[in-house]
Structure 1
Amino acid sequence: MAELRFDTKKIKAGYSPLDNNLAISPPIYQTAAYDFKSTEHAQNLFTYKEAGYLYTRVGNPTVNYFAERVKALDGAKNVVAVGSGMAAISYTLLNLAVGGGTILASPYVYGGTIDAFDRLFPEFGVNIKLTDAILDPEKLDAEITDDVKAIYVESISNPNAYLLDIDAISEVAHKHGVPVVVDNTLATPYLYRPLEHGADIVVYSATKALTGHGNLIAGLILDNGDMSLYTKERYPQFYKPIVMLGGKSPADIFPDNFFIFRAILVYLNLLGAALSPQDAYLGIIGLETLSERVSKQSKNAAKIAAYLESSPAVEWVRHPSLASYKFKELADKHLTNGGGGVLSFGIKGTPEQEAEFLNNIKLFHYHVNLGDARSLIVDSPNTTHSELTEDEFKLAEIPRNLIRISAGLEDADDLIEDLEQAFKAAGLL
């Protein structure tokens, strides 16, 4: 059979009823552990001589079905699902920079990610440098020293909805033998697939648009299967013998998958942010409507953005659908399925009027999630990005009057009318 198309993969990939008593919907394997067939079987599992399940913290069939489906949608070679998007980011960067090193990171990222950069990673000897050089290949080239272990970016950024040129970033990074890690949470593989643009590793908060219903916490790490980039000189951790592997290294055991394998063996196993089978099942169900959800969210966001750009209550608007968008040429080239459901705008009023506006919203939900079937609104500088310093706010181009919207699946005209009445209640119209 020919390669399946995207919308068929989101329904079929990674699961076979033949392996599960002909069940059409993947079963929830709600079990902590699995019986061993024999002592030999147990030893083979623990030394990775044989594939199978031994404990749900490090492997579960339902979780695997979810991960394999996302792997197919992204065109990845290897994958692991974990308990949250932050776990996916943390395990990925620790896996790359264990023992010290520098990660060059985009300043246009989620506030919780920057908080981890500032407070968590330095405790492990990892230096994170936020740099706008990711916008300029020549500047980025100059910043990649022997100490740099990875480039970290978001494909579509939170909260500004900036689209970065992953092709250009990857070309420069690979010249220095450094992998590119892309958080693709806002885009999802329906809008953008970073591995097709030169990225090496993709991470997700699957909590958001990927599963789309605001009812689970989950993360994923995927890679392109090219292990040649991880040289013994720059990344010795992949080549060090481990006792439980019989004195062999991750690279010895899985030469085509030692990045993900080590992340499972060390970080998922020992730090333990496992994804539950129940949440994995909810994720599988959410994936089945990915295209339909994100397509409508993109259209709703574009219609809302156009309304906001015409409103006297608004100072500026950022969304890939707008002619004024900072990366319009890049968006027109790559975001052919839509610009995504997230947009941001600057409210033209006092902080008191901003609060009055938010307190009078009726249809939008005022909270910090993204990509939900419901429309969401939040004042990012005071919530999701409140951890940033003044210098980080400036570098990330997040003004204090920024409001972020995650468009849902409601009627766009109803959402616009809700914004209109809230502007009026705040005295902005």
Structure 2
Amino acid sequence: MTDAPAHGFDTLQIHAGARPDPATGARQTPIYQTTAYVFRDADHAAALFNLQEVGFIYSRLTNPTVAVLQERIATLEGGVGAVCCSSGHAAQIMALFPLMMPGNNVVVSTRLYGGTVTQFTHTIKRFGWNAKFVDFDDLDAVKAACDDQTRAVFCEAIANPGGYITDLDAISAIADEAGVPLIVDNTSATPYLCRPIEHGATLVVHSTTKYLTGNGTVTGGCVVDSGKFDWSASDKFPSLSAPEPAYHGLKFHETFGALAFTFHGIAIGLRDLGMTMNPQAAHYTLMGTETLSLRMDRHVENAMKIAEWLENDPRVDYVTYAGLKSSPYNKRVEKICPRGAGGLFTFAVKGGYEACVKLVNSLEIFSHVANLGDTRSLIIHSASTTHRQLTEEQQIAAGAAPEVVRVSIGTENADDLIADLDQALAKATA
């Protein structure tokens, strides 16, 4: 449970969840590199396994280092609890796992990271689940896509790769009307720029690999529970409202109330799926969160300057950064992301696919990698990499057309980044 005190974001990103180590007094959260924990006695062990007492059993389920990170992210997002796991993709499955049964569907935005599109198009079908892809700017289409088998609505706050901003308030209203949770991937925005729960989201997922860690060292994921959804309002979510056979008929929502989803994520999700975050990864991410606001301000400042420069360059067809006044999503920035439109966007290079490849190969400061959210500036040609498995129609719908490159603007000197883009564009369009 995260009863957040009335502190500012800059304070919470350093202190939330963390306390001096009771054994040694260590101020930084230690890496508890252990698989198991000694029980006080047989009754203590039984109480833990019966979910009658909260504590540490086995690091597939809970770990002190990971627990600090869970509390910190939940606090920053304004949730009641969180479950960390091994990657952002794991977090998406963890979010859906308590909600879905064979035959159910999730209504999802067409503007998603390419790996998520592949996961929802192909992989989840192995569970008997289905995804309905809809343009989330078409609210009537989103509403029409929700049916009796819909169990969730899924989108990204700032969509990867294009940097498009979703109208979370409008989408959450549709999810509420359908009686299902809204799941928002907040990876590209982070809780510093956007707090989806304040806009009606039930669950928030992160690839902590990205901005939350910020240094490109470890992978991780997180599911944050708002604690605001009534899982017992209908019979749609039996995993949370009905008796659980593995715990002698315990009903998660009846027993744990607002923390039902969080407890289920640990007691069932991590127990059976095993997509656990390791304590060293949690440690790196905890250190990353301590500078999150400082980094995000610089990411936004640099992105705005570079996007404006690119928009005025004759070698560039268009730029998708929502911070630009020319963007159709610019009006949503103040409402959804009041501190800025993030550091992620795309731009189209005149000369198409081949010019994009030349551009990527000619850059010196920008790193050509399949990642985002690093302090280093990154670039990738999505159509030939992250979105390669998609059809051209899907690529265009996702904002990853063949003539487009995605940039994740880092915290370097903006003028140096512009100079690097300038010389690479000259070679790419010669």
Q: TM-score range by the shorter chain?
A: over 0.9
Query: Comparing 50-59 with 348-357, which one deviates more in the overlay?
Result: 348-357
Is 2:181–2:201's contact at 8 Å kept on the other side of the alignment? yes
DSSP 3-state at the match of 1:71: helix
Is 1:227–1:257's contact at 8 Å kept on the other side of the alignment? no
- Are residue 359 (structure 1) and residue 361 (structure 2) matched? yes
- Are residue 123 (structure 1) and residue 126 (structure 2) matched? yes
| Partner Cα distance (2:145, 2:376) in 1 | 41
Match among 201, 204, 208 for residue 202 of structure 1? 204
Counting only pairs closer than 5 Å after superposition, residues 59-208 of structure 1 correspond to structure 2 as 59-132=62-135, 134-208=136-210
- Are residue 32 (structure 1) and residue 35 (structure 2) matched? yes
DSSP 3-state at the match of 1:340: coil
- Are residue 45 (structure 1) and residue 48 (structure 2) matched? yes
Alpha-carbon deviation of 1:334?
A: 3.0
| Partner Cα distance (1:394, 1:342) in 2 | 17
DSSP 3-state at the match of 2:258: coil
DSSP 3-state at the match of 1:392: helix
Is 1:227–1:259's contact at 8 Å kept on the other side of the alignment? no
Is 2:62–2:266's contact at 8 Å kept on the other side of the alignment? no
| Partner Cα distance (2:397, 2:140) in 1 | 19
| Partner Cα distance (2:147, 2:102) in 1 | 17
Return the letter of the residue paired with 2:24: N
Residue aligning to 2:371? 369
After superposition, the Cα gap between the structure-2 partners of 1:229 and 1:262, relative to the gap in structure 1 and judged at 3 Å, is closer
After superposition, the Cα gap between the structure-2 partners of 1:350 and 1:139, relative to the gap in structure 1 and judged at 3 Å, is closer
Residue aligning to 1:215? 217
| Partner Cα distance (2:417, 2:35) in 1 | 44
Give ranges in structure 2 of 5+ residues lacking alignment: none
Is 1:209–1:371's contact at 8 Å kept on the other side of the alignment? yes
Residue aligning to 1:315? 317
Return the letter of the residue paired with 1:301: A
- Give the superposed CA RMSD: 1.6
* Deviation per residue, 1:125-152 (Å, 9 max, x gap): 11101001x2233332222211111100
Residue aligning to 2:264? 262
Return the letter of the residue paired with 2:51: Y
Is 1:46–1:244's contact at 8 Å kept on the other side of the alignment? no
Residue aligning to 1:389? 391
Alpha-carbon deviation of 1:417?
A: 0.4
DSSP 3-state at the match of 2:407: strand
| Partner Cα distance (2:148, 2:209) in 1 | 35
Residue aligning to 1:226? 228
Aligned residues: 427
Give ranges in structure 1 of 5+ residues lacking alignment: none
DSSP 3-state at the match of 1:181: strand
The TM-score with structure 2 as length reference comes to 0.96
Alpha-carbon deviation of 1:59?
A: 0.1
DSSP 3-state at the match of 1:359: helix
DSSP 3-state at the match of 1:151: strand
Residue aligning to 1:425? 427
Alpha-carbon deviation of 1:403?
A: 0.4
Residue aligning to 1:400? 402
After superposition, the Cα gap between the structure-2 partners of 1:301 and 1:418, relative to the gap in structure 1 and judged at 3 Å, is same
Residue aligning to 2:295? 293
| Partner Cα distance (1:20, 1:106) in 2 | 48
Alpha-carbon deviation of 1:413?
A: 0.4
Identity of aligned residues (%): 39
* Deviation per residue, 1:384-405 (Å, 9 max, x gap): 1112123322432432111000
Is 1:9–1:69's contact at 8 Å kept on the other side of the alignment? yes
| Partner Cα distance (2:398, 2:229) in 1 | 32
Is 1:156–1:186's contact at 8 Å kept on the other side of the alignment? yes
Query: Comparing 235-244 with 361-370, which one deviates more in the overlay?
Result: 235-244
After superposition, the Cα gap between the structure-2 partners of 1:83 and 1:230, relative to the gap in structure 1 and judged at 3 Å, is farther
| Partner Cα distance (2:149, 2:323) in 1 | 39
Residue aligning to 1:16? 19
Residue aligning to 2:252? 250
Residue aligning to 1:235? 237
The TM-score with structure 1 as length reference comes to 0.96
Residue aligning to 1:304? 306
Return the letter of the residue paired with 1:63: V
Alpha-carbon deviation of 1:220?
A: 0.4
